[in-house]
Amino acid sequence: MNFCLFFTFYLGFHSFIFSLYSAEEKEHLKASAIVSDAPVAFSPKLMGIEIETSTIKIKSPTADKLGFYFNNATNGELVWVLEEDTLDATFRDSARFDEFDQNVEIKTHPAKGFSLAEMINIIGDMEDTIKYLYLHALDTALDVTPHALETMHHPKYVVLPKSSTQIHFLMKSKILPSEERIIKPQVTYQLSLAEIPRVFRRLGELKHLGINFFLHDLSGAPIEIASSESILSKLPEGPFKKLARGITRNKDLGEPLRRYFSERIAPQFASLPESREKGLITLFLYYWYELFNDKRIKGPEPGLKQFLGVMSRIPLSQLYESLNGLEKEAFKSFIMPHLAFGASHKLRPYLNEDDEEVDGPINLAEWFESIVDESHVTTVRRDLLSPPPQMVEHSMGTLDINSHANGIALIEVRGYSNLKHKDKNITIDRIREFGIDESGWFFG
């Protein structure tokens, strides 16, 4: 029954690319993705998911990225992928994990979005697979074969290895209590620009730390919380207070911007009707708030996406281009007066792909200009953050709105792993529950 439902919904969906992978995978996707150059009249809401976990490790002796494709048994199309992800040498000194140092990742087809019914089916299959692998790789290394996975899901999928030389591979699980078997999900949503504020509100409800502060300040509520003076005044004089003074430095740097958002931008934002330009304004303001905020902390990973709870896969310049003339004017007339305050705000520092620091290569005014300047007619117009300076293999703003998102917005929501879902960590036993909740909210 589930399979019939799944298959029915599977037919007729437009393609869009969620992320870019290895050359081998790109070739595979090229063959299977339906790519259209023209925006379609009606673009459906679609969803995809990517889940990383370090609870199960893959042994990867070669440079090949190991993994399996789960193809629909009826039409042969790729549905989802299980593969090795980033190197995680956290346990390199332990004999158990000396060679098993690759995290496991499962993700829906990077070139497709899925409906509610499809997502529920796929997420259930993902949870069953991960739980099966975890339990069977606990005592000894598990030799994972396509046949075993195919049998487990019979008759839904044909499972094929990604690499022609490595048709099976070994896995080991970390021995952890169930509440520590944490997963890191990222969800991709294809949706109308007009729905972007709804995503922010949802993340606010889930108490996403960064989004909550952004929403708080954008609501115009007074900034009474955590002024550095009020924090420091509560601490007795002593060595700890001295150290705490150091960590309030960034807070102080971000304070004027927060006040500006609350006092100057919020009243104007509140009067905006729900519209596509409001969606783009929300994204622009959020990037300003998170990336051009004069904070000087670098993150541990290369690039800027680690600072974003919501990241556009499509360049903001293309989202701007997708607006009609009136909407474009509304966007510009909202943002431009505020550039008098924010024009010189520099992009926060980050590491490039060679782990070298990139510090303030552009400011807010330059970025804004690169979004709205339509004088340079090129095939794919990209603003200055798509991708950020000195980043090449970065998923931020690297996709094309027409060929990859049916002419509408495509955003990646990050940081779910940091949220407590119903007061609990999101673990391998709660993939289905989390997926049903978020897809139910999105499509609901």
Partner 1 sequence: MKEVKMKKVKKFFILVIFSASTLFSSQAIEKELASNVERVAHGLFAGCPIETHEIRGIFSEIEEIDKIKKRHSDHERDSDTSNDSHQSTVSDDSLSSIDSREAIDGMDKIMDACFDQREKSPIQIEQRKNFIGMLYSLESSVSSEIMTKAILMISEKLMY
Q: List residues near partner 1 by CB under 8 A.
A: 54, 86-90, 92, 177, 179-180, 184, 207-210, 212-213, 224-226, 228, 230-231, 234-236, 238-244, 247-248, 250-251, 254, 299-301, 415, 417-420, 423, 425
Torsion of CA 276, 112, 317, 295, to 10 degrees: 90
Pick 161 or 303: Cβ nearer partner 1: 303
Q: Are 9 and 44 in contact (CB under 8 A)?
A: no
Pick 32 or 250: Cβ nearer partner 1: 250
Pick 236 or 444: Cβ nearer partner 1: 236
Pick 342 or 415: Cβ nearer partner 1: 415
Query: Shortest gap between Cβ of 212 and partner 1 (angstroms)?
Result: 7
**What's the token pair of residue 217?**
């300040």
Query: Shortest gap between Cβ of 311 and partner 1 (angstroms)?
Result: 16
* Number of helices followed by number of strands (H, E) in the chain: 17, 12
What is the sign of the dihedral through the CA atoms of 35, 37, 39 and 40? negative
Pick 172 or 208: Cβ nearer partner 1: 208
Q: Side chain identity at 20, as an amino acid letter?
A: L
Query: Shortest gap between Cβ of 31 and partner 1 (angstroms)?
Result: 34
Query: Shortest gap between Cβ of 123 and partner 1 (angstroms)?
Result: 22
Strands 183-191 and 67-72: unpaired
Query: Shortest gap between Cβ of 418 and partner 1 (angstroms)?
Result: 5
Alpha helices in 219-363 (DSSP H): 228-234, 239-247, 249-260, 266-270, 276-291, 316-321, 325-335, 339-342
The H or E element that residue 412 is part of is: strand 409-413
Query: Shortest gap between Cβ of 237 and partner 1 (angstroms)?
Result: 11
Pick 26 or 421: Cβ nearer partner 1: 421
Distance CA 132, CA 151 (A): 12
